[in-house]
Amino acid sequence: MDQGFFLLFAAVSVITALTVVLARNPVHSALALMACFLQVSAIFVLLGAPLLAVIQIFVYVGAIMVLFLFVIMMIDVREAVLQRFLPGGNLPALVLLVLLGVEMLVLVLWSDRFSATEPAAIRGGDEIRELSTALFADYLLPFEVASVILLAALVGAIVLARKEPG
């Protein structure tokens, strides 16, 4: 049952990820990426992380992809649609990619550390309560730093995108 759902979500996410990279029109890429994020959040649910699944949908699908679509609307993408998909002379990058993929696959399939089939025993009790206790007690400083980073990014984005006076 679980395996069937995992295979379904994984297959759809890989197909939509390929669509992101292969589509000519950036709008199609953005919509495919949205579908891919939804599949990934379903996989988070399978992994027993419902909070992360909800955050994934809110932040990625709700905020980041809408931002992308807004920028695509502001920019004229017609010229970008016409350009050639793969400019020649990219053989080194292609070789690098194949090497990277083969290396990671071989390492994962050879190692016996990833063969666990059952999750470790779940500690009883409210999982989200424990998670938030860890986040707000042990990881309070990184949490505050993350909020400062978000504030800096907000101010920076406004300053960058503003029309220069005069």
Q: Confirm or reject binding of residue 59 to another protein (CB under 8 A).
A: yes
Q: Confirm or reject binding of residue 66 to another protein (CB under 8 A).
A: no
Q: Confirm or reject binding of residue 38 to another protein (CB under 8 A).
A: no
Task: Identify residues 104-123 at the interface with another protein (CB under 8 A).
Answer: 104-105, 108-109, 114-123
Residues 6+ away with beta carbon under 8 Å from 52:
41, 44
Backbone angles phi, psi at 46, to 5 degrees: -60, -30
Q: Confirm or reject binding of residue 26 to another protein (CB under 8 A).
A: yes
Give the gyration radius of the chain's Cα atoms.
Answer: 21
Matching residue, tokens 């949490």: 143
- State the minimum distance, in angstroms, from the CB of residue 112 to another protein: 10
83-122 as b/e, with b when 16 or more CB fall inside 10 Å?
A: eeeeeeeeeeeeeeeeeeeeeeeeeeeeeeeeeeeeeeee
- State the minimum distance, in angstroms, from the CB of residue 8 to another protein: 12
Options 83, 125, 165, 166; binder of another protein; rule CB under 8 A: 83
- State the minimum distance, in angstroms, from the CB of residue 51 to another protein: 7
- State the minimum distance, in angstroms, from the CB of residue 79 to another protein: 7
Q: Confirm or reject binding of residue 91 to another protein (CB under 8 A).
A: no
